[in-house]
Amino acid sequence: MLSLFLGMFGQGDVSEILAAGDGLGIVLYYVYLLTVPLILFNILVAMITDAYVEVDSDKDAIWRLNRSKLIVELEESMPHYVKERFQPEAIEVVLEPFEQQREATDQEKKAELTKALDTVTEKVDDQQRLLSESLEGLETLDKKCEDAAQKYLSRRQEVRRKLAAKKALKQKMVEE
């Protein structure tokens, strides 16, 4: 067990496994050494993906906060006589290109999510179809088993009746 643990870090001692003389043990050892790094790498990718999703979910709120700070900063930096003539719509005109870029990105993400949802829906439909086919097969098998059991029980009763008839005939012959 220690050899397996140390083998993950390149410090494994193969001599114990070679000394055992079991070819299967050597094969399993090398399969272990190949699969453990793959699993560990998969876990690392999953952790990084999870962190990315967490940051990605907060980006909209951060963007809105920064946009609000920018608007407040622009309004505070304006002289008083300009503020009176400047309408809030003018600030929105300045920020409009940023808003359009943001909407385009949102539409692209929405299209990607819709495509992913369609793919998942197709897979679920396929799984449901396979499940229903399996259930139909099981129902057919269940019916065949039930029919076989009924045939067995009727055959058993028939054999019992014949045995009882033979027994009665024997007793009748013995009595005569």
Range 52-73 average pLDDT: 84
Q: Is 44 left (phi over 0), alpha (psi -120 to 50) or beta?
A: alpha
Rounded Cα–Cα distance for residues 107 and 116 (Å): 14
Whether residue 67 contacts residue 95, with contact meaning beta carbons closer than 8 Å, is answered with yes
Percentage of the chain surpassing pLDDT 90? 16
Read off the pTM.
0.34
**Cα–Cα nearest to 103, from 69, 70, 60, 57:** 60
State how far Cα 33 lies from the chain centre.
26
Smallest CA-to-CA distance from 106 within 73, 143, 63 is with: 63
Task: Give residue-wise pLDDT tens across range 111-137.
Answer: 888 888 888 888 888 888 888 888 888
d(CA 87, CA 95): 14
Average pLDDT across the chain, whole number: 81
User: Greater confidence, 21 or 46?
Assistant: 46
- Cα 158 to Cα 152: distance, rounded to the nearest angstrom: 10
Both structure tokens of 93: 């005109």
Above 80 in pLDDT, residue 87?
A: no
Residue 62: pLDDT band by 50, 70, 90 thresholds?
confident
- Rounded mean pLDDT of 81-89? 62
SS3 94: helix
**Is pLDDT of 96 > 80?**
no
Domain boundaries, given as residue ranges, for the chain: 1-53
